[in-house]
């Protein structure tokens, strides 16, 4: 299976570090992310306009980006990709835009395009799965995903 490629060491590291990005429940409200401007209030993150007085911190998504530590990974490959690269990339970016609007912690970190393969890392598990679902819905193909320990990470693959 796809998963064996990612190795055991990777998984162990995730288990040790997984709580780092989930501790926002302890943040005072409201808290504003000084990096991206998202706002933590009423137990959730949004793009609402911040009140005049807000605690300032770094949100979990920006922290993951700073650490280079993604929650999601999407691998896209196949013949079809070669001929439809622009359409596929547009679809991915649109999908991310929709997710990010609703959930500020769900973003693309990086898109690596090597020609026969596109690898995408994300700050959240949700957006990675949504990208795979959107590709599958638009173009069929082989779509699969696998959650890591306690659903805190996800590997998505789509091939056509």
Q: How far is the CB of 116 from Zn ion (least distance, A)?
A: 33
Out of 31, 32, 39, 62, the only residue in the binding site for Zn ion (CB under 5 A) is 62
d(CA 58, CA 38): 9
What tokens does 38 get?
């998202």
Nearest distance, CB of residue 59 and Zn ion, angstroms = 3
Nearer to Zn ion, 33 or 125 (CB): 33
Q: Rank residues 64 and 155 by Cβ distance to Zn ion and give the closer one.
A: 64
Q: Decide the pairing of beta strands 39-41 and 55-57.
A: unpaired
Buried-state track 111-150, b at ≥16 Cβ within 10 A, e below 16: eeeeeeebebbbbbbbbbbbbbebbbeebebebebeebee
Query: Which CB sits closer to Zn ion, 71 or 81?
Result: 71
Q: Which of 146, 108, 142 is nearest to 124 (CA)?
A: 108
Q: Per-residue contact track with Zn ion, 71 to 110, x per CB under 5 A?
A: ----------------------------------------
Scanning residues 16 to 55, which ones bind Zn ion (CB under 5 A)? 33, 35-36
Whether omega before 30 lies within 30 degrees of 0, making that bond cis, reads yes
Distance of closest approach, residue 40 Cβ to Zn ion, in angstroms: 10
Chain residues in the site for Zn ion (CB under 5 A): 33, 35-36, 59, 62
């Amino acid at each position: 299976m796809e998963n064996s490629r990612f190795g055991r060491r990777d998984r162990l590291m995730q288990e040790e570090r997984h709580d780092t990005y989930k501790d926002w429940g302890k943040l005072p409200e409201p808290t504003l992310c000084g990096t991206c401007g998202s706002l933590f209030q009423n137990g959730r993150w949004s793009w609402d306009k911040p009140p005049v007085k807000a605690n300032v911190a770094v949100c979990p998504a920006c922290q993951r980006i700073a650490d280079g530590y993604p929650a999601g990974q999407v691998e896209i490959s196949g013949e079809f990709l070669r001929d439809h690269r622009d359409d596929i990339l547009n679809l991915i970016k649109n999908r991310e835009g929709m997710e990010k609007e609703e959930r500020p912690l769900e973003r693309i970190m990086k898109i690596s395009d090597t020609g026969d393969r596109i690898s995408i890392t994300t700050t959240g598990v949700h957006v990675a799965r949504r990208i795979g679902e959107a590709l599958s819905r638009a173009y069929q193909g082989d779509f699969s995903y696998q959650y890591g320990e306690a659903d805190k990470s996800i590997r998505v693959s789509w091939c056509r």
